[in-house]
């Protein structure tokens, strides 16, 4: 059954996905398929094809940079890595997210008690 | 081992993706197709045994081409193409094409509001607008004596003058009148045609916001 929050949740997931992807390449460069495998188990990415426009967007905005690397078992792969600007954006999001999550959690729990 | 219909399934998917992405800017569309192509190669390499079902699952997980493209449009901030709004330039072009041909035609070709086929029709039907029609009419009048053959001898005296009037003269007159009306109405018909074709406009390429 469709609940009214469906649209909101999918929009939130869509927005948060950008930062999840950035977080995935914060420590080590990864190629797209690796990210899909990592995201696949979380339910954050239901339509795998939509990751590619997202990555293009991040690259266009200068939040990630890319580099082609040879692969031992196939054609070269494009690796994505967080830029300094991406790092700043991710840090800002972390702060916002923690505050937002705490506020919503607090209100939802408060409402349940009363 | 390769699935029996792997190439057909994958080519079909990529063709549908390409078609769905026709509104994306060319570079963005090419990048999406390259990325998805690489994804499919990567996914296939991970399967120990490949069947048609395996390929179908890979494509299913990628998502419907229309869904992927709609998401790409939003992510990349692609504005849907705005139809071109005709203005003074187009009005002037429609008026000047029949009455002041060279200028009208230049405006016609400058404006993005017509397809090139319509521009060609506007330019060539009739060539020169009323100016061209007048020249044509003059040529036609001066050529009317062409039906007569005059033979002269060496001294210049007429020895034979035959005019071939196989068609009754009233029919000739009627034909001339009809032809005149058609020829003189033609520039206006063309102008009307251009005015009608204007409404559809030309779809400019989608742009990145």
> Are B59 and B107 in a shared domain?
no
Partners of A74 in beta bridges: A71
What mean pLDDT, rounded, does chain B reach?
81
Instruction: pLDDT band for B172, please (50, 70, 90 cuts).
Output: confident
> Are B75 and B97 in a shared domain?
no
B63 touches chain A (CB under 8 A): yes
Residues 51-90 of A with CB under 8 A from B: 52-57, 60, 73-75, 77-78
Q: CA B94 to CA B188: how far, in whole Å?
A: 9
Report yes or no: A87 and A26 within 8 Å, Cβ to Cβ. Answer: yes
CA-based nearest residue in chain A for residue B60: A47
Residue at B209 is within a domain:
no
Percent of chain B with pLDDT over 70: 78
Segment A11-40 mean pLDDT: 93
Query: Using H for helix, E for strand and C for coil, what is the string for chain A?
Result: CCCCHHHHHHHHHHHHHHHHHHHHCCCCCEEHHHHHHHHHCCCCCCCHHHHHHHHHHHHHCCCEEEEEEEECCEEEEEEEEECHHHHHHHHHHHHHHHHHHHHHHHHHHHHHHC
Instruction: pLDDT band for B156, please (50, 70, 90 cuts).
Output: low
> Are B62 and B123 in a shared domain?
no
Return the ∠ at Cα B58 (arms to B56 and B60), rounded to 5°: 65
ω into residue B126 within 30 of 0, thus cis? yes
pLDDT in tens, B9-31: 999 999 999 999 998 999 999 99
Least trusted range by pLDDT, from A54-63, B112-121, B162-171, B200-209? B200-209
> Are B26 and B55 in a shared domain?
yes
A103 pLDDT more than 90: yes
> Are B140 and B61 in a shared domain?
no
For residues B47 and B127, the model is more confident at B47
The reported pLDDT for the residue numbered B92 is 87
pTM of the model: 0.61
Beta strands in chain B (DSSP E): 78-79, 148-152, 158-163, 207-208
Q: CA B59 to CA B67: how far, in whole Å?
A: 13
Question: Nearest Cβ partner of B39 from A33, A54, A57?
Answer: A33
> Are B20 and B71 in a shared domain?
yes
> Are B20 and B40 in a shared domain?
yes
Segment A86-99 mean pLDDT: 96
A104 pLDDT more than 70: yes
Q: CA B127 to CA B122: how far, in whole Å?
A: 8
Which residue in B17, B27, B66, B3 sits closest to B207, CA to CA? B27
Half-sphere exposure of A108 (CA within 13 A, CB side): 6
Residue at B1 is within a domain:
no
Domain span at residue A64 reads: 5-113
For residues B38 and B145, the model is more confident at B38
For residues B143 and B157, the model is more confident at B157
Residue that is last in its domain, among B79, B98, B130:
B79
Half-sphere exposure of B124 (CA within 13 A, CB side): 6
> Are B96 and B65 in a shared domain?
no
Beta strands in B30-171 (DSSP E): 78-79, 148-152, 158-163
Q: CA A50 to CA B70: how far, in whole Å?
A: 9
Residue that is last in its domain, among B55, B79, B103:
B79
Number of domains in chain B: 2
Number of domains in chain A: 1
Residue at B208 is within a domain:
no
Which residue in B206, B113, B38 sits closest to A48, CA to CA? B38
Across the interface, whether the CB atoms of A74 and B42 are under 8 A apart is answered yes
> Are B113 and B198 in a shared domain?
yes
Segment B129-141 mean pLDDT: 75
The reported pLDDT for the residue numbered B163 is 59
For residues A95 and B178, the model is more confident at A95
Least trusted range by pLDDT, from A54-63, B57-66, B87-96, B158-167? B158-167
> Are B118 and B186 in a shared domain?
yes
Which residue in B39, B12, B110, B205 sits closest to A36, CA to CA? B39
Could you tell me which residues come within 8 angstroms of residue B156 by beta carbon, excluding any fewer than 6 positions away? none
State the ipTM, two decimals: 0.87
Residue at B126 is within a domain:
yes
Report yes or no: A21 and A35 within 8 Å, Cβ to Cβ. Answer: yes
Residue that is last in its domain, among B79, B109, B135:
B79
Domain span at residue B60 reads: 6-79
Question: Nearest Cβ partner of B71 from A50, A60, A77?
Answer: A50
> Are B128 and B193 in a shared domain?
yes
C-alpha radius of gyration, chain A, whole number:
17
B26 touches chain A (CB under 8 A): no
Residue A88's domain is classified under what CATH number?
1.10.10.10
Report yes or no: A82 and A63 within 8 Å, Cβ to Cβ. Answer: yes
CA B131 to chain A, closest CA, distance in angstroms equals: 55
Q: CA B10 to CA A103: how far, in whole Å?
A: 47
Report yes or no: A52 and A32 within 8 Å, Cβ to Cβ. Answer: yes
> Are B111 and B17 in a shared domain?
no
CA B55 to chain A, closest CA, distance in angstroms equals: 14
């Amino acid at each position: 059954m469709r609940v009214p929050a469906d649209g909101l949740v999918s929009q939130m997931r869509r927005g948060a996905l950008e930062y999840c992807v950035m977080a995935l390449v914060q420590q080590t460069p990864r190629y797209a398929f690796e990210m899909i495998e990592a995201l696949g188990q979380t339910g954050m990415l239901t339509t795998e094809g939509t990751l590619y426009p997202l990555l293009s967007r991040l690259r266009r905005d200068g939040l990630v940079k890319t580099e082609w690397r040879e692969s031992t078992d196939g054609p070269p792969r494009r690796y994505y890595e967080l830029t300094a600007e991406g790092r700043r954006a991710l840090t800002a999001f972390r702060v916002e997210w923690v505050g937002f999550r705490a506020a919503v959690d607090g209100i939802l729990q408060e409402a349940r008690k009363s | 081992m390769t699935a029996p219909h792997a190439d057909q399934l994958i080519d079909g998917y990529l063709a549908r993706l390409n078609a769905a992405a026709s509104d994306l800017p060319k570079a963005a569309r090419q990048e999406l197709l390259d990325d998805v192509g690489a994804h499919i190669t990567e996914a296939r390499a991970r399967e120990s045994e490949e069947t048609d079902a395996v390929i179908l699952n890979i494509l299913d997980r990628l998502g419907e081409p229309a869904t992927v493209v709609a998401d790409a449009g939003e992510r990349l901030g692609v504005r849907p193409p705005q139809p071109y709004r005709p203005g003074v330039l187009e009005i002037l072009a429609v008026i000047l094409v029949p009455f002041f041909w060279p200028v009208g035609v230049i405006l016609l070709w400058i404006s993005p509001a017509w397809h090139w086929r319509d521009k060609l029709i506007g330019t060539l039907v009739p060539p020169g607008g009323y100016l061209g029609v007048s020249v044509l009419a003059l040529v036609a009048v001066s050529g009317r004596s062409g039906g007569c053959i005059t033979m002269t001898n060496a001294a210049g005296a007429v020895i034979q003058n035959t005019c071939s009037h196989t068609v009754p003269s009233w029919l000739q007159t009627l034909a001339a009148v009809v032809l005149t009306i058609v020829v003189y109405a033609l520039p206006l018909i063309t102008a009307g045609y251009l005015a009608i074709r204007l409404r559809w406009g030309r779809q400019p390429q989608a742009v990145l916001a």
